Structure 1
């Protein structure tokens, strides 16, 4: 499983939530594989290079090879960050075919909850990912009680995660 974090701030709360979500899902699926973390804040200065540096290409290949991909970011201006968009735009067409993608957006206001379904899900589907369950709109105010808030969503996505990880 890969956790892709599109927050421009290193060590963000979004990163912490993405890691916890991915690790919990791996455990619930009965796997002990480590979660691969892709923190785009570390790659940000190199993402717009005319020729992608080897480390950017390697990370894009790692993301494209994921069986399960948690795509997490903060909600900026009612949608996901430009950092996440730039990274995903650099993937080849249909690069996520065969990948189960789980979109997660962290937001300050519940009025942005639809951003996960209206903006992030279509991008992942355009890249070929299967997104069979609702994304997770996670309020910043709920981060201190993340495990409790995640329980219903994780129960809904766990069967798909289990099936995807079993296909290895």
Structure 2
């Protein structure tokens, strides 16, 4: 399976970027090829000017086009996904997600932002052609505590929800448990 992940966080050490990468580690056995797009690392001028001809932007759009699974991770700010992610999604062709499986992931300060996945992000994914959207996973800051060695430690309930969302992608012979993998990364 070809997987492309998109991190829409403007922060280098964000919980949503970590959760996006962690989801990829849960799929290591089924991923044939993975690509990661950190939108914050794309050229700002090209993003803001919607310059799809910029080589870095064209490469990122191509990575989405080649993917079978697209993981979209974002922090939630003021009940909406990150503006940085919106700028990138606006560069994608109208049917960029048609025929692909999409996993939306989000983090936020409190459960009050939980519905932003359903009311803000999923409609945009649908507008881009996504018809097979896996159960979204939302994590609060309290569910992803900083680890002293770097990264985050997910709460057991978060691991269960993430594994449940990923279950349709895993071979039936490979059940996962929340404690199966190390949580540090």
TM-score using structure 1 length: 0.85
What's the counterpart of residue 60 of structure 1?
61
C-alpha displacement at 1:63, in angstroms?
Answer: 1.3
Rounded Cα–Cα distance in structure 2 between residues aligned with 1:156 and 1:121: 15
Alpha carbons of structure 1 residues 162 and 141: separation in structure 2 relative to 1, 3 Å: same
Deviation at 1:138, TM superposition (A): 1.0
Q: Comparing both structures, which one devotes a greater share of its residues to helix?
A: 1
Q: Which residue of 2 aligns with 1:166?
A: none
Number of the residue aligned with 2:40: 41
- Bigger mean CA offset, 147-156 vs 62-71: 147-156
Shift of 1:48: 1.5
**Aligned pairs, number:** 159
Q: Which has the larger radius of gyration?
A: 2
> How far does the alpha carbon of each residue in 1:58-98 deviate from its partner, in whole angstroms, 9 at most, with x for none?
10111122111110000011010111011001111111111
Q: Does 1:155 align with 2:164?
A: yes
Task: State the TM-score, normalizing by the size of structure 2.
Answer: 0.78
Higher relative contact order (CA 8 A, sep 6+): 1
| Structure 1: gaps of 5 or more residues | 164-168
Gaps of 5+ in 2: 146-152, 172-185
2:117 matched residue in structure 1: 116
Question: Which segments of structure 1 move beyond 4 Å, counting only runs of 4 or more?
Answer: none
Take 1:101 and 1:82, find their aligned partners in 2: how far apart are those partners? 19
